[in-house]
Structure 1
């Protein structure tokens, strides 16, 4: 009887630990995706907080990154290397620039073949004050890579056991709000660049490389804004 009792306890412990680990990951993902649903939560309570429109990204993305960082260190008891936020090699940065060049070349070619039509989302961005645009460029490059690439892919991989599933889910979560704001045409001009950032991440396994590619891809927004002044 004692042996059976001990065996039952031994079987339960790994199962309980497994479910506990999954729960921790789900909570972490909820924090990572907070910017996508925080406004809906506030609306449910009839509350408004912080700036409206694109500038709200600056507040909620950085807040999510801060909370998520504390969560990784305190609750998960891991380091930031667990989301591939580690010192990049020279090759990592070189390939980041190469992949940015490929994405920009695709964008340029597509604009030559089929010029991008009027886009209300883009107009909204380039008409913001320059300091806000600069803050958005830096914010999205850093925070989106942490929230939607590094943490999302690594934890979804642990949750599903499949890298391709993790990448696919992360891609959908990342792309959906961009399509909502920039419309489906965004995929034609920037979809390939986004795919290459995912390829870069899976290949080089370094988030700083992806942050650099993302930053360089966002930078032309500043040129467009200055050109309108």
Structure 2
């Protein structure tokens, strides 16, 4: 017998809250200037930092804030354990698989991108301009932030809550994958999103679907984005 509709209300509400929290960095854009000033006052951002870099570092702070709020929501409002987000002790072999396959997947995505674009340089995207303005230390922060925040929201939270809602793990993984890739299109453009991002996102999505553990996904995301450090 199928669940009565009311049994599905709470997962839907949780997804709505998670979606709202994901957009905190967008909603909180008026706060980026005072956050950047605070970072400079704390010595975490040089006074002469490029305006685009300062804005982006402040946006990353808002992403950390959204992550903390998501954890608070899960632990205190949903009253669920960290394992409900995939935050559990990982198996070493899963971490090794993640670390060893991430760079080849990134290279495959780059190769597909070159094939699709014919090796011709694309018009600079918003993401390209931001990366070009960041120092090596700031790029490292970006890589860590992306790995933790995006994996927590798109893999740990989104997949688990869609499973709660539908009871279908494969559908949950596919939906999270599509939403993750699509979320990159406004900043990175269609070509990069449907090649580099789409190929790179396959590994953490499959890893989470197989292990239901977030840490291999974070490792894969970090290693896969590590070449960005060469831009610093």
TM-score of the superposition, structure 2-length normalised? 0.77
Where do 5+ consecutive residues of structure 2 fail to align? 34-51
Q: After alignment, is 204-213 or 100-109 more displaced?
A: 100-109
Distance 1:115 1:92 in 2: 34
The answer to whether 1:131 aligns with 2:137 is yes
Closer/same/farther in 2, CA of residues 92 and 18 from structure 1, 3 Å limit? same
The answer to whether 1:178 aligns with 2:184 is yes
Distance 1:36 1:77 in 2: 25
Identify the residue that residue 170 of structure 2 maps to in structure 1.
Answer: 164
The answer to whether 1:74 aligns with 2:76 is yes
Q: CA deviation at 1:34?
A: 2.4
Distance 1:211 1:127 in 2: 25
Deviations 1:127-185, CA, capped at 9 Å, x for gaps: 22333222111111111100111001001111122223222322232222311111011
Q: CA deviation at 1:65?
A: 0.8
- Tell whether the 8 Å contact from 1:61 to 1:144 is kept in structure 2 after alignment: no
Report the 3-state secondary structure (helix = DSSP H, G, I; strand = E; otherwise coil) of the residue aligned with 1:55.
Answer: helix
- Tell whether the 8 Å contact from 1:99 to 1:200 is kept in structure 2 after alignment: no
- Tell whether the 8 Å contact from 1:32 to 1:148 is kept in structure 2 after alignment: no
Identify the residue that residue 60 of structure 1 maps to in structure 2.
Answer: 62
- Tell whether the 8 Å contact from 1:24 to 1:76 is kept in structure 2 after alignment: no
Q: How many residues align?
A: 205
Distance 1:56 1:178 in 2: 19
Closer/same/farther in 2, CA of residues 161 and 206 from structure 1, 3 Å limit? same
Q: CA deviation at 1:223?
A: 1.1
Return the match for 1:25 from 4, 10, 14.
Answer: 14
Question: Superposed, which structure 2 residues align to 1:85-104 within 5 Å?
Answer: 85-104=87-106
Q: CA deviation at 1:31?
A: 4.1
Where do 5+ consecutive residues of structure 1 fail to align? 1-13, 43-47
TM-score of the superposition, structure 1-length normalised? 0.78
Larger Rg: 1
